[in-house]
């Protein structure tokens, strides 16, 4: 069991340091901390001008969404960069469980996403004057963590496509843009067509944002629990999907001898 924890924990951290492109301080702050904060301000001011919703709607929603950038691109890098750096074959030669190797990689990204979400929420609240009730903080931390975890596994499922498709960055870029639209973070879900709402229900962030908004509005953790449970279920579903896709595409790419094709 300790070997498994070592593989998941230390292996995940090593892979994070080796494969995540944004670990240098300049890249980390610029891309992952400043970028999401300006995204929050952009939509908050747009929402103010159009009178779509109040600041709280945008601050909380965009703070939860802030985790997605690190998690979606991180998950993609966790797999696609192995191929890019020519180390994928070495990883797959290991006799250890693929599921443990790759699912462990999502955890540092989820932790990273949580940090970014907290910084974005704090920055947005201070800049725009949102008061978050102290009693809501534990539940809010839980909502941000579950959202980041769901995003981490979602990113890993997208990263698995990197074993099969060459332009996996295209999928990541479009996915991040779609999360902006479909999760109800910036456009109130009730104003979206039914099909878009249905897709949004199956994406990470949607339920975590709903739970976080309830908590910041002063509702109890019990009131936010159904949304938190839905987000957790989505996280598990994407973890299973990522494991299956990684297995299937590994077999397929070994059969087609396309493992290191870039």
Residue from 86, 89, 90, 167 touching other proteins (CB under 8 A): that is 167
How many residues make contact with other proteins (CB under 8 A)? Answer: 34
Which residue, among 13, 149, 164, has the nearest Cα to 88 in the 3D structure?
164
Q: Is 198 in the site for other proteins (CB under 8 A)?
A: no
**Which residue, 26 or 95, has its beta carbon nearer to other proteins?**
26
Query: What residues between 1 and 60 interact with other proteins by CB under 8 A?
Result: 22, 24, 26-27, 30-31, 34-35, 38-39, 41-42, 45-52
- Tokens (6 digits) for 8: 């998941």
Question: Which x/- pattern over 110-149 shows residues binding other proteins (rule: CB under 8 A)?
Answer: ----------------------------------------
Q: How far is the CB of 54 from other proteins (least distance, A)?
A: 12
**Which residue, 15 or 185, has its beta carbon nearer to other proteins?**
185
| Contact (Cβ atoms closer than 8 angstroms) between residue 103 and residue 242 | yes
Tell me which stretch binds other proteins (CB under 8 A): 113-121, 142-150, 185-193, 231-239.
185-193
Contacts of residue 259, defined as CB under 8 A and 6 or more positions apart, other chains included, come to 83, 88, 89, 92, 163, 253
| Contact (Cβ atoms closer than 8 angstroms) between residue 69 and residue 175 | no
Q: How far is the CB of 177 from other proteins (least distance, A)?
A: 4
Q: What is the signed CA dihedral for 43, 148, 60, 200, rounded to 10 degrees?
A: 70
Cα 151 to its chain centre, rounded Å, is 3
Task: Provide the 3-class DSSP secondary structure of residue 207.
Answer: helix
Q: Is 197 in the site for other proteins (CB under 8 A)?
A: no
Contacts of residue 121, defined as CB under 8 A and 6 or more positions apart, other chains included, come to 59, 60, 63, 66, 132, 140, 144
Q: How far is the CB of 130 from other proteins (least distance, A)?
A: 16
Q: How far is the CB of 183 from other proteins (least distance, A)?
A: 11
Q: How far is the CB of 5 from other proteins (least distance, A)?
A: 33
For residue 183, CA distances in Å to 6, 9, 56, 166, 179 come to 35, 30, 16, 27, 6
Q: Is 262 in the site for other proteins (CB under 8 A)?
A: no
* Contact residues for other proteins, defined by CB under 8 A: 22, 24, 26-27, 30-31, 34-35, 38-39, 41-42, 45-52, 167, 169-170, 173-174, 177-178, 180-181, 186-188, 191-192
């Amino acid at each position: 069991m300790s070997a498994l924890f070592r593989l998941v924990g230390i292996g995940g951290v090593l892979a994070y340091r080796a494969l995540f492109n944004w670990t240098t301080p300049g890249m980390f702050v610029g891309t992952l901390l400043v970028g999401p904060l300006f995204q929050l301000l952009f939509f908050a001011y747009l929402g103010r001008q159009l009178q779509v919703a109040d600041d709280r709607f945008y601050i909380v929603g965009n703070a939860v969404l802030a985790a997605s950038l690190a998690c979606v691109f991180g998950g993609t890098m966790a797999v696609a960069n192995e191929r890019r750096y020519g180390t994928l074959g070495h990883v797959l030669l290991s006799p250890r469980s693929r599921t443990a190797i790759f699912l462990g990689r999502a955890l540092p990204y989820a932790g990273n996403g949580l940090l970014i979400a907290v910084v974005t929420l704090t920055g947005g609240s201070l800049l725009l004057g949102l008061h978050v009730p102290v009693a809501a903080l534990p539940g809010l931390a839980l909502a941000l963590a579950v959202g980041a975890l769901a995003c981490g596994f979602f990113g890993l499922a997208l990263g698995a496509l990197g074993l099969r498709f060459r332009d996996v960055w295209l999928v990541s870029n479009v996915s991040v843009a779609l999360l902006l639209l479909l999760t109800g973070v910036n456009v109130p879900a009730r104003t979206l067509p039914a099909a878009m709402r249905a897709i949004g229900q199956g994406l990470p962030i949607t339920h975590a944002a709903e739970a976080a908004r309830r908590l910041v509005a002063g509702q109890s953790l019990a009131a936010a629990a159904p949304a938190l449970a839905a987000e957790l279920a989505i996280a598990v579903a994407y973890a299973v999907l990522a494991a299956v896709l990684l297995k299937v595409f590994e077999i397929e790419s070994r059969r087609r001898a396309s493992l290191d094709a870039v």
